[in-house]
A and B are shown apart, each in its own frame.
Chain A
Amino acid sequence: MPGFLVDFSNELANAVERAGASVISVPEGGREGVSGTIWREGVAVTAEHTIRGLDEVAIVLPSGETAKAAVAGRDYGTDIAVLKAANLAPAARLADETQARVGEIVLSVGRRREEGLAATHGLISAIGGPWRTGQGARIDRWLRLDLNPFPGFSGGPVVTARGEVIGMATSGPRRSAATIPVSTVNRVLDQLLQRGRIARGYFGVGIQPVAFPEATARALGIEGERGLLVVMVEPGGPAANAGILLGDIVVRVDGAELRGAHSLQGALDSEKIGQSVAVDVVRGGKLVQLNVVVAERPQK
C-alpha cells in the first residue's frame, strides 16, 4: 500500500524526470561539463561563464544523442548564454516565479554526459526583490536556495516539486547556487535572440568608492556620506564629453544618491542609453552638476 512517503518520493522522482526531458548536457562547459535547459523549441540556455570563448559546443540531448549547438548570444552580466540547435525539444515547462513561496521544495536538475540525469533537493530559503550581479546586471528577483550545488549543475533548471522551472541555476558566491528567475531569462533571451548581446549604459569612467568626513557630507547635504572618486576618464567618452574631470567625486546620478559602484551600474540600464542624465559631483569641495549623455558600453 503506497504511503505518504512513497507518494512523496514518487512525486520528486517524477518531477526530476519531467524536468529532465528538457535538460541537456554541455560536456565542454566548466571543468567537468555543465547542463543546459531547453527554454524554447530550438533554443537552450546555459551558464555563460562555463563556455566563454566558444562559438559552438557539443551537447548531449535528453534522448542521449549528441549534437552541435551554435552559441547564438551571451550575456556576461546575467551569466546567460543562448544555444541554438534544430533538435532542441521539448521546451521546459516554465512556472511563474512570482508564485514561488519560501519553504517550497525545489530541485536542481542537471545532466552529466553519459551518466544521465542528476538532481539535488532543497528549499527556497528566502525571496527578495531585484538585485544586481557582480557584473552590474539586474536580476528581477532574489531566490535564495537551501540546496547543495553539485558538479555540473550550472545551466540546468531549478524546478518545483511539480517539475516546473522557476529559473536557471548557476554558481553564486561561496559555493552557493544562484537562481536566474524565469522572468529575467525571458527578458535576456529575447534581447539576445534579437541582437546577440545585451546593451548596457556606459559613462566611460573608472571609479573608486570613497567616504566623506561627516562634516563635509553634512555641509554638502550628502546623506550616505559616500561617493565614487573618478580615477580614470576615458578620452572621448560620455563623461569626458560632459566635462567630468579626474578627481571629481560622483555623489548623485539622476537625483538618486549612489551607494557603491553597483549603484552607478544600476543607474546605467539599457533604457538610459542616448539619454542625458544629471550627475552631481563634488569638485574642490563644492557640488557641481553636469549632464552626461549615456552611451552604449562598447563590445570587448
Chain B
Amino acid sequence: MTTTAVVNPEASSGISIGYSVGSISEWLRRVTVCIHGPRGTRGSGVIWQDGLIVTNAHVAVGKMHTVEFFDGRKAQGRLVARDPSVDLAAIAIEAAGLAVASIRSARELRAGEVVIAVGNPWDGEGAVSAGIVHRAAGTQPVIFADIRLAPGNSGGPLADARGNVVGVNSAIFQGLGCAVTSDAVKEFLKGAGVSEAA
C-alpha cells in the first residue's frame, strides 16, 4: 500500500471539472474502504483516523468485518462502537500508515456547494458520484445532497470540492442523498470514547 499520499491533491491542478473531480476522487478512494458483509453484501467505510474506520451501523452489523482497501489489500476489523440511532459504527483495524481522511465541519456548508461521494455499489468498486448540497445542515445531524447514491455507498465519504470529508453517506430519501454529518461522527466517536484512540 502506498503511504505517501496523505494530503489532499492540488485542487488547482484541474483544467476542467472532469479532471478536478477525477483527482479529488483518486484521493477519496484512498481513504474509502469496502466492508464485506455476510451473503456477499457490501458497504463502504471511511478511514477516519489511523487504525479507525467509520461506517454506518446498518453496514457494520456483526463483531468482525473483512475490510478491503483501495489497493485490494484486506484486513480484519473489529467493531468498537455502534449506535443505530445515528446510524454510525466504528471499526478498529490493525494497519498502520494508512491515508486518513481530512475532515471538515458540515455546519458551514452552503446549499449549492459541490459534493463528491465514493462508495461500493454492486456494480462498481470505488464508484464516484458528484452533486451539490441540497440544503445547509446547520446544526442538524444529517445533510441532504442532490447526488445519486446507491445502497453500496452506505458508510462511504461525502466530501466537498477540496476533498474534505463532510459526512458519511447513509440513506436515500425522496431521491436525495442523506449523509450523517462529520460533526455528528465526531460526537459519536467522543461519546464512544474512541476519539482519542489514535
Tell me if chain B binds chain A: yes
Flag if B12 contacts A119 (CB, 8 Å): no
Contacts of B2 in A (CB 8 A): none
Flag if A6 contacts B135 (CB, 8 Å): no
Contacts of B162 in A (CB 8 A): 3, 5-6
Asked if B183 is at the interface of the complex by the 8 Å CB criterion, the answer is: no
Flag if A2 contacts B12 (CB, 8 Å): yes
Asked if B161 is at the interface of the complex by the 8 Å CB criterion, the answer is: yes
Asked if A273 is at the interface of the complex by the 8 Å CB criterion, the answer is: no
* Given A6-B162, A121-B131, A17-B112 contact (CB < 8 Å): yes
Asked if B114 is at the interface of the complex by the 8 Å CB criterion, the answer is: yes
Query: A13 CA to B162 CA in the complex, in Å?
Result: 15
Flag if B161 contacts A9 (CB, 8 Å): yes
* Given A119-B112, A119-B135, A5-B17 contact (CB < 8 Å): yes
Flag if A115 contacts B111 (CB, 8 Å): no
Binary A-proximity of B41-74 (CB < 8 A = 1, otherwise 0): 0000000000000000000000000000000000
Asked if B10 is at the interface of the complex by the 8 Å CB criterion, the answer is: yes
Flag if A4 contacts B15 (CB, 8 Å): yes
Flag if A121 contacts B21 (CB, 8 Å): no
Flag if B112 contacts A1 (CB, 8 Å): no
Asked if A142 is at the interface of the complex by the 8 Å CB criterion, the answer is: no
Contacts of B26 in A (CB 8 A): none
| Contact partner, A4, options B11, B134, B136, Cβ 8 Å | B11
Binary A-proximity of B3-33 (CB < 8 A = 1, otherwise 0): 0000000111111110111001000000000
- Nearest-neighbour CB distance to chain B for A52, whole angstroms, equals 23
Flag if A12 contacts B113 (CB, 8 Å): yes
Asked if B194 is at the interface of the complex by the 8 Å CB criterion, the answer is: no
Asked if B97 is at the interface of the complex by the 8 Å CB criterion, the answer is: no
Flag if A5 contacts B132 (CB, 8 Å): no
Residue among A5, A148, A151 with the most chain B CB within 10 A?
A5
Contacts of B144 in A (CB 8 A): 118
* Given A117-B111, A119-B112, A148-B135 contact (CB < 8 Å): no
Query: A8 CA to B160 CA in the complex, in Å?
Result: 12
Flag if A150 contacts B112 (CB, 8 Å): no
Given contacts A8-B114, A17-B111, A118-B135, 17 further A-B contacts (CB under 8 A): A3-B10, A3-B13, A3-B161, A4-B12, A4-B14, A5-B161, A6-B161, A9-B160, A12-B113, A13-B113, A14-B112, A16-B112, A20-B111, A116-B138, A117-B111, A117-B136, A148-B176
17 A-B contact pairs sorted by A residue (CB < 8 Å): A2-B11, A2-B12, A3-B13, A3-B14, A3-B161, A4-B15, A4-B16, A5-B11, A5-B162, A6-B11, A9-B160, A12-B114, A20-B111, A112-B135, A115-B135, A117-B136, A118-B111
Q: Which 8 A-B pairs have the closest CB atoms?
A: A3-B11, A16-B112, A5-B20, A9-B161, A9-B114, A13-B112, A4-B14, A3-B12
